[in-house]
Amino acid sequence: MKIQNPIIRGFNPDPSVCRVGADYYLATSTFAYFPGVPIYHSRDLACWRLIGHALDRPSQLDLTKADNAGGIFAPTLRYHDGRFYMVTTRMGGKGNFLVTAKNPSGPWSEPIWIDAENFDPSLLFDDDGTVYYTRRAHQSVVQATINPVTGELTSPLQTISGNFVATDIEGPHLYQINGFYYLVAAEGGTRSGHCVTVGRSSSPWGPFESCPANPVLSHRSLSGNPIRDTGHAEFIQTEDGSWVVFFLAARASNYEGFPHLGRETYVAPLEWRDGWPVINGEKPITFDLDIPTGSLEPHPWPTEPSRDEFDAPVLSSGWIHLRNPPEGSFSLTERPGFLRLHGTKHALSEPAPVAFVGRRQTEFVQRLCAQIEFDPLRESDEAGISVFMNERHFYALAITGERGGTRRIIVRRRVDDFYIVAAESPVPAGLVTLAIDGERGCYHFRYRVSDGEWQSLGSFVSKHLAPEMAGTWTGVVWALYATGNGEPCAAPADYDWCEWPV
């Protein structure tokens, strides 16, 4: 079967996958975005649809004070005896926890807390009924047995492995395959040195023999390759007995490009030679791959719309919030047919809950366009759209007030400690359509009033929004936002529609 990588596009790192019969379910990291841990479903490994989130209630996930690079780290998704288990870490919070569900689309349980040290927990339900809890420690992997109902560790945590080839071991998964226990890990950091390593042992407690071909997957030596930072892998056996590997990687727009879309989810074929995994025939990963899964028939899902008219009582799937949305900050019922935002006192540049409704940018060449009705009552009132990486790295195109009641269109540019209004123009009364056009190396900012001509407010490079520049682990998010810049916004912002075509 021909697979087009990445299979889940835009900021979707740290994939974890489980199979239930002919169905495949996949979870990814979400960091400071809410709801947490999207659950995707596929029947052919190529086409995936979002069916829910494991953490969709404030009682499960409090991100109020989360740092943009904190929040929810790598999840592990497992299925055992009619129940799904998702174990992950709330970085900057209470640590490692699990939630469970009968149906992967939800509802999921309240958190069952396990321990507070380090991150990247994983579970193995062994054939003899033992459940192993494995996670990163400081430059090592530790493990204990666990009661998955209570979260209680039923044996002491002990070190089972150190690094195989590089520093910074993380993302460990333990598998029992053909009489061996395999420890699959990510090493070398999660940027250009990222790689996948494997060890095996006759015991789940080790010692683990390092694979002679370690790292079994890495693009760290492929200068200029458009697929970079490959790592953090999950092995899965398909229904017909063949094997595949899911992993994260980042797309670069060109040789010197920065992967501002963030880390995404990829898949590649896996075979076993002499008891060791071989990924993609030891060849570099490409965007088009043949996966030898003869029993899997193509199973596309209905095409997701790239436009939202905001005519439903709840937000459609794919919309996310930066941290937990403040109570009353958005509504689809106050003015039916519109998304209404009530700006809080917090601005995009503040690490605090903001009136923010966003979705992942999935392609380099993509447009965010929204029509807005907004009549600011004060100079500080502001509402518009943004291409957002974190509080210190974003661009925004917005309507704001000015003394005397005249509205302005402004472009805000935040690059670390460089924070300016980079362009502005007075704008008359009426509907305003705002557009940010993404290209491979830059973003263009445009607007028009009612059905008038498009007006340009300039262009700015995209590399300043890359995770490497911003010091975070996410990807660019398109956002609709509102703020009062120091006090609650005095006027609501009403979005009639929003679209994000490619």
Distance CA 451, CA 251 (A): 36
Distance CA 439, CA 419 (A): 23
- List, in sequence order, every residue forming a beta bridge with 263; answer none if it has no partner: 250
Q: Where are the alpha helices (DSSP H) in 340-497?
A: 467-470
Fill in the amino acid letter for 402. Answer: E
Angle formed at CA 491 by CA 409 and CA 355, multiple of 5 degrees: 80
Fill in the amino acid letter for 276. Answer: W
> Residue 235: exposed, middle, or buried by beta-carbon count in 10 A (0-12, 13-18, 19+)?
buried
Distance CA 502, CA 199 (A): 42
Tokens (6 digits) for 31: 């960091």
Fill in the amino acid letter for 240. Answer: D
| Phi-psi sector, 362: left (phi>0), alpha (psi -120 to 50), beta | alpha
> Residue 360: exposed, middle, or buried by beta-carbon count in 10 A (0-12, 13-18, 19+)?
buried
- Whether residue 126 lies in the annotated active site: no
Q: Label residues 94-128 b or e (16+ Cβ within 10 Å = b).
A: ebbbbbbbeebebebbebbebbeebbbbbbbbeee
Distance CA 83, CA 62 (A): 25
From residue 3, how far is each of 105, 290, 292, 338, 499 by CA, in Å?
A: 25, 6, 10, 38, 27
Coil vs helix vs strand at 482: strand
Distance CA 299, CA 293 (A): 13
- Whether residue 14 lies in the annotated active site: yes
- Closest listed residue to residue 197, CA positions, set 221, 174, 215, 173: 215
- List, in sequence order, every residue forming a beta bridge with 418; answer none if it has no partner: 415
Fill in the amino acid letter for 440. Answer: R
The residue from 44, 115, 120, 170 that is catalytic is 170
The answer to whether residues 122 and 160 touch, using CB atoms and an 8 Å cutoff, is no
Which residues are known to be catalytic?
A: 14, 170
